[in-house]
Structure 1
Amino acid sequence: MLVDSYDRVVDYIRVSVTERCNFRCNYCMPEKPFSWVPKENLLTFEELFEFLRVAIDEGVKKIRITGGEPLLREDLDKFIKMIYDYKPDIDLAMTTNAFLLKGAAQKLKDAGLKRINVSIDSLKPEVAQKIAQKDVLQNVLDGVDEALKVGLKVKVNMVPMKGINSDEILDLLEYCKDRNMTIRFIEYMENKHAQEDIQGLKSPELLSIIKEKYSFEDEGFDGHSPSHYYKLEDGYEFGIIEPYEDDFCKKCNRIRLTAEGHLIPCLYFDEAMSIAEFVKRGDIKGAALVLKEVVKNKPEKNRWGGEDDEVSTRAFYETGG
């Protein structure tokens, strides 16, 4: 069992298989050139899997595949199958922008993937194009439909931004409600890679908009999830993720691994330790020691909303958010 210095059990790891992305969303990396880390700098799927075997043996129960956009990495389904074959009952999920999902959904399901989270920030083609800097919406919606068709469980994430998509909060909620998909509204997380003039909506503003049409009850937090959930009168639940609140970190059970082998204890923090040299030379015991050290040094909470009002330099496209 992996336990940090604040007695939190760490049993969830997010694995970024690439920093590459086919979108340039304005809240993530709007000005990053379309380039990528040389292939030789990345851990192979076999190397990533060897480390994940250690993590699973140490008590990790949930693995989420992220990016960048994970579907840009070739043979992703084979990597997922490696994990599934080793631990069939593991909670195996993926976060994707869904642009390439229609052609991949069945292979991912067959490989052992159970769930996906999809980012949908608008149901208007022109707004989605403005956010992603690419004509994306129809591909995304087709990908979601295909994922549901093949039996994957789907959650939707939306980042509401004032003057951009804040008038679509109810539309997105109802789109998800009609398809029995949970939606989570994510408060915009300030970072140095985002467009400077973005203004996100805070939880009270989101709830006020939803309250204009629906009555709901506060359901609180669900286990270790960072989502604060609310239930409509008909039983449908939606969530809000509030990274600036202390509750966001209180029950955190996550660490993150980048495609280059950097093991990161916190979404905000730039501090990391590398497992790359250990797994490349087959020193699994060495990688296990790094894992335990990173968990031990996991901070109590992120620095958002602190006295110094810091803005993270963490590139979310490297860690999957």
Structure 2
Amino acid sequence: MVDKYGRNINYVRISLTDKCNLRCIYCMPSDIEFEKNYINDVLSLNDYKFIIKGMSELGINKVRFTGGEPLLYPNLVDLIRYTYEECRIDDIGITTNGIRLHEMAYELYQNGLKSVNISMDSLKEYKYKSITRGGDLKDVLKSIHKCLSLGIKVKINCVVIKGFNDDELLDFMLMTKFYPIDVRFIELMPLGEASKVYKKGYFNIGQMIDSIDELYKVSSNKKSAAQYYKYDGAKGRVGVITPMSCSFCSECNRIRVTANGNIKLCLHSKEEIDIKYYLNKPLIFREIMKEMILEKPEKHYLNENRFSDTNRRMYQIGG
């Protein structure tokens, strides 16, 4: 699918639930509660399969499952298997906090999972527990090692917050010297809960990276929101995602499906398109999707007004 600005849209991020087992301070309010058995009361497993099949027929060849926390979704293995075997999509990933991943990684890998983006904002146990409001860093580290042992590509996503973890960035970067992982630093964005800490917590990552002489810029043969750097002889890479100080909109190749059945053409736009009416109507669905893609915005305006106009919090969109 090609939008009116000539961008090939071949990547979809699919939120399976807005429920999470953590309460990260920049993502989810501490007082949000979900019913015990709640996962998703809008889209069924068959609905997700229909969406993925339809999009694959339109040229989507990369799928990332997100949340909330996608590992809470009971049919995740089935959905990954379907995406890989029935839709012939080989590039399948998940974005996860990693808490339960070490228990599930092998089965997910056996059914087609190729990559994981793991959110981890501190290498210190007390800090990690603080920012996640109760998470155990040991579980995340265990998951990283398990994925590496299986050959699953690992990316660590670290949201940088001034005064909280900006003193740990070098430690994160040094991990790439010894492990075949990508550590990606993400600028804090004034979106949802993060808007409460944005003014005091914003840290210009690009300036920090440019000041480190040992790092050199590397090119990638894949479109990515990240600019990558590397140490000489390192096994992994250091990535920087800077939507605030440097927009990557001209290279954007993705759309999002929310857990309540809406399409978001841009993360930072409040505009969403409800696709539930078109589910299980293959011909109409394909034509509607083509029309939607043509309306994908050229860019967001975070650089100009510094605040996202989306009505959603991050956990309702997916990372």
**TM-score (normalizing by structure 1):** 0.91
Residue identity in the other structure for 1:151:
G
Corresponding position of 2:315: 317
Which residue of the partner structure matches residue 105 of structure 1? Answer: 105
Q: Structure 1 residue 151 and structure 2 residue 151: aligned?
A: yes
Where does residue 141 of structure 1 map in the other structure?
141
- Superposed, 1:297-316 pairs within 5 Å as 297-306=295-304, 308-312=305-309, 313-316=311-314
- Mapped contact 1:274–1:290 kept (Cα < 8 A): no
> Structure 1 residue 223: deviation in Å?
3.6
On the 8 A contact 1:159/1:200 being kept in 2, the answer is no
Match among 202, 212, 230 for residue 200 of structure 1: 202
Amino acid at match of 1:41: D
Aligned partners of 2:62 and 2:89 also within 8 Å: no
Aligned Cα root-mean-square deviation (Å): 2.0
Corresponding residue number in structure 2 for 1:30: 29
- Indicate whether 1:216 and 2:215 are aligned: yes
Offset at residue 208 of structure 1 (A)? 5.5
Q: CA deviation at 1:39?
A: 5.6
Conserved in 2, the CA contact under 8 Å of 1:222 and 1:228? no
Distance 1:261 1:8 in 2: 24
User: How far apart in 1 are the matches of 2:61 and 2:144?
Assistant: 26
SS at match of 1:194: helix
Normalised by the length of structure 2, the TM-score is 0.92
* 1:291 paired residue number: 289
Q: Which runs of 5+ in 1 are unaligned?
A: none
Q: Is the 2:184–2:240 Cα contact (8 Å) retained in structure 1?
A: yes
Where do residues 242-261 of structure 1 align in structure 2 (5 Å cutoff)? 242-245=242-245, 247-261=247-261
Cross-structure match for 2:241: 241
CA 176–35 in structure 1, closer or farther in 2 if over 3 Å, else same = farther
Aligned-residue identity in percent: 32
Distance in 2 between residues matched to 1:182 and 1:119, nearest whole Å: 12
The structural deviation recorded for 1:101 is 0.4
Structure 1 runs (4+) greater than 6 angstroms displaced: none
Amino acid at match of 2:217: D
Number of aligned residues: 314
Q: CA deviation at 1:136?
A: 1.9
Could you tell me which runs of 5 or more consecutive residues in structure 2 were left unpaired when the two chains were aligned: none
**Equivalent-residue separation in structure 1 for 2:59 and 2:31 (angstroms):** 36
1:123 match: 123
